[in-house]
Amino acid sequence: MQNDLRKQQALEYHANGKPGKIEVIPTKEAKTQRDLSLAYSPGVAWPCLEIAANKDDVYKYTAKGNLVAVISNGTAVLGLGDIGPEAGKPVMEGKGVLFKIFADIDVFDIEINEKDPVKFVEIVKSLEPTFGGINLEDIKSPECFYIEKRLKAEMNIPVMHDDQHGTAIISAAALMNACEIHKKKLDKVRIIVSGAGAAAISCIKLYIALGAKKENFRVFDSKGLIHESRTDLDELKREFASGGKNNSLAEEMKNADVFIGLSKGGVLNADMIKSMAKNPIVFAMANPDPEITYEEATGARKDIIMATGRSDYPNQVNNVLGFPYIFRGALDVRAKKITEEMKLAAVRALADLAKTTVPDIVNMAYDEKNISFGPNYIIPKPVDPRLLATVAPAVAKAAMEAGDALSPIINWDEYVNNLNKRLGLDNQVMRIIGNKARRNPKRIVFAEADNVKILKAAQIVFDEGIGYPILLGDERRINRIAIENGIEIEGLPVIDPRSDDQEDKRNEYAEIFLLKRGRRGFNSYESKRLCVTETILAA
């Protein structure tokens, strides 16, 4: 979520120290001459010869089996559009970070300067010897459909365009559970879809695979209803063109059971929500501004189940619930592809996990006593430590059952134990602590706020919503340091212990100090003198 992230803070995060967010770290010792002779010449010749004799040994002697390529041409980067492969690189590096911290998968991000989908396919195909899987990212529609289809058909490693399938998988799990809570049948519900890009089309196809009826969908793009009378529809949109009356979105929302939003903020209003059928389901997933705000939607209907793409409201549809674990399961059985069955297995695993007892560590992260399955909890939270050992095995089993696994798992208990060891408890605990702090932020006094590092720390605390900073020090000096270093402190209280308007407060604190320390050699004068010091006043 961008929220109020300050530009300078984001730029410094990416630029400070080693530029970027990722690096390559050796996994074997390379300290002695012997180590080097094994790592490279002459020792490296032996695994080379083994692989030459048996190509599958590349998984035994190299990192290929745990290495995914995150590949983009920068034509549809976040909500920024076609900004080019170089400008998309920070996003691809970020995706690599998520793969690593959630599923212990290594990533090389590859930005390709090629918009021709045929040439793009040929470039990616040629990378198969290096990688165990391909995650396509931020490639514009409709080219992304052609590219993924070709690569899945012509490569023998898992390929997935996450922009298409990530949202589809997570929202499908949420939709199944929402329908169960509201006692609606997926094959009976009327579904209105706002948006007709890669994610929306994939959502529709996956919902249909789960039992929804094609004739029950009404799909809208920026020009209105995708209707059979329109002459501007490409092949993908024509597949979901409606017949009958060419209605507006407001007209189609009447008595609709489900709204799926993958378009832009503000396309819905309270009257549209009120016109929906009993117990409506609304997934307003446009980011950062949903199609209708959570407050407006829940204010319009008390019987609504609402989901968004935002972390500050219940039922966040977040792709990180899917892609790390789907690739983990696919890599661990050396699946040749990511199939429809594997995606459906991930959907069902996520849906089922939401119905189980939530661990205390997750309750703590969200400052809740007992999160439980219901209208405000239809999909697992991203910090749930059980996700890896739940979704990855489900995907792996689906690959094995379909005959697409080249290295089947024999001992499932051992496999689950190994998955849990991969979690990276330190990262997990920090994420949970951060989430808990955001739920109930406290006031934090920064006693030496005229130090640039302290001032930056205060800004980070405020921007991340984990506390309310109070800055102590010379106000003019603090403001000068903030301006010189691009630190945004507007709205943060600044207290100068030496200023005249703090005299009453200093005297009050001096009396308290004297009561506590008077028997240890401090008198009234010394107590007042010490209360001019930032660290004493802060305490």
Distances in Å between the Cα of 3 and the Cα atoms of 254, 462, 477 are: 33, 12, 28
Q: What is the mean pLDDT of residues 93-118?
A: 95
Task: Confirm if 261 and 285 have CB atoms less than 8 A apart.
Answer: yes
**How many CA atoms does the CB half-sphere of 207 hold within 13 Å?**
33
Domain 441-538, CATH class in plain words: alpha beta
Range among 1-10, 244-253, 421-430 rated most confident: 244-253
Q: Is the pLDDT of residue 294 over 90?
A: yes
Helical spans, DSSP H, in 246-374: 249-253, 270-274, 294-300, 323-332, 340-353, 360-365
Length of the chain measured in residues: 539
* Mean pLDDT score of the chain: 90
pLDDT, average across residues 283-296: 92
Distance (Å) of CA 360 to CA 14, 78, 101, 383, 420:
34, 34, 21, 12, 17
Per residue, the 3-state secondary structure of 99-159, as one string, reads HHHHHCCEEEEEECCCCCHHHHHHHHHCCCCCCCEEEECCCCCCHHHHHHHHHHHHCCCCE
- Active-site residue flag, 152: no
* pLDDT digits 0-9 by tens, 353-369: 999 888 878 888 787 87
Query: What is the domain partition of the chain in residue ranges?
Result: 1-27+63-157, 165-312, 318-440, 441-538
Question: Annotated catalytic residue: which of 64, 95, 184, 237?
Answer: 95
DSSP one-letter string for 223-254: TEE-BTT-S---HHHHTT-B-S----HHHHHT
Is the predicted pLDDT of residue 427 greater than 70, yes or no?
no
pLDDT beyond 90 at 351: yes
For residue 424, what pLDDT band results from cuts at 50, 70 and 90? low
Arithmetic mean of pLDDT, 124-138: 97
Residues 6+ apart with CB under 8 A from 348: 173, 176, 394
Place of tokens 């674990």: 325
Inter-residue contact 439 to 366 (CB < 8 Å): yes
Domains 165-312 and 441-538 fall in the same CATH topology: yes
Indicate the pLDDT class of residue 431, thresholds 50, 70 and 90.
low
Please, are residues 528 and 507 in contact by the beta-carbon 8 Å criterion?
A: yes
Residue 526: how many CB atoms within 10 A of its CB? 15
C-alpha span between 436 and 383 (Å, rounded): 11
pLDDT of 539 strictly over 90: no
Q: Provide the pLDDT for residue 501.
A: 75
305/277 Cα distance (integer angstroms): 12
Contact (CB, 8 A) for 335 and 161: no
As its CATH architecture, domain 1-27+63-157 has 3-Layer(aba) Sandwich (3.40)
pLDDT tens, position by position, 487-523: 778 888 888 877 777 777 778 888 888 887 776 777 8
CA 189 – CA 502 distance, rounded (Å): 64
What's the pLDDT band for 211 if we cut at 50, 70, 90?
A: very high
Cβ atoms of residues 192 and 166 within 8 Å: no
Query: Rounded to whole angstroms, how far apart are CA atoms 537 and 539?
Result: 5
Confidence of residue 236 (pLDDT cuts 50, 70, 90): confident
User: How buried is 301 (Cβ within 10 angstroms: 0-12 exposed, 13-18 middle, 19+ buried)?
Assistant: middle
pLDDT tens string 158-178: 999 998 899 999 999 999 999
Mean pLDDT across the stretch 119-140? 97
Q: What is the pLDDT of residues 451-463, one digit of tens each?
A: 888 888 888 788 7
**Residue from 7, 18, 40, 343 carrying the catalytic annotation:** 40
Instruction: Report how far residue 70's alpha carbon sits from residue 133's, in angstroms, rounded to the nearest whole number.
Output: 9
Average pLDDT over every residue of 372-388: 92
Fold that domain 318-440 belongs to in CATH: Rossmann fold (3.40.50)
Question: Hey, what long-range contacts does 510-518 have (CB within 8 A, 24 or more apart)?
Answer: none
Smallest CA-to-CA distance from 390 within 426, 360, 355 is with: 355
Question: What fold does the segment set 165-312 form as a domain?
Answer: Rossmann fold (3.40.50)
Average pLDDT over residues 286-290: 86
Beta bridge partners of residue 469, listed in sequence order:
444
Is the pLDDT at 3 greater than 70? The verdict is: no
pLDDT at residue 5 above 60? no
Percent of the chain with pLDDT over 70: 96
DSSP label at residue 315 = S
Higher local confidence (pLDDT), 539 or 249: 249
Rg from Cα positions in the chain: 28
pLDDT tens-digit map of 39-74: 898 999 999 999 999 999 999 999 999 999 999 999
pLDDT at 401 over 50: yes
pLDDT at 422: 79
State what percent of residues in the chain have pLDDT above 90. 60
pLDDT of 326: 97
Residue 1 has pLDDT above 50, yes or no: no
Query: How far is 218 from 438, CA to CA, in rounded Å?
Result: 39
Q: Is the CB of residue 111 less than 8 Å from the CB of residue 61?
A: no
d(CA 340, CA 389): 20
Report yes or no: 261 and 291 within 8 Å, Cβ to Cβ.
yes
Please report the pLDDT score of residue 273 as a whole number: 97
| Listed ranges 22-26, 194-198, 393-397, 521-525; the one with the highest mean pLDDT | 393-397
Long-range contacts of residues 275-279, Cβ cutoff 8 Å, at least 24 apart: 275/250, 276/301, 277/190, 278/303, 279/182, 279/183, 279/184, 279/303, 279/304, 279/305
> Cα dihedral angle (200, 205, 207, 208), rounded to 10 degrees?
140
* 40 is annotated as an active-site residue: yes
**Integer CA distances (angstroms), 427 to 98, 229, 480, in order:** 11, 53, 35
87-91: average pLDDT? 95
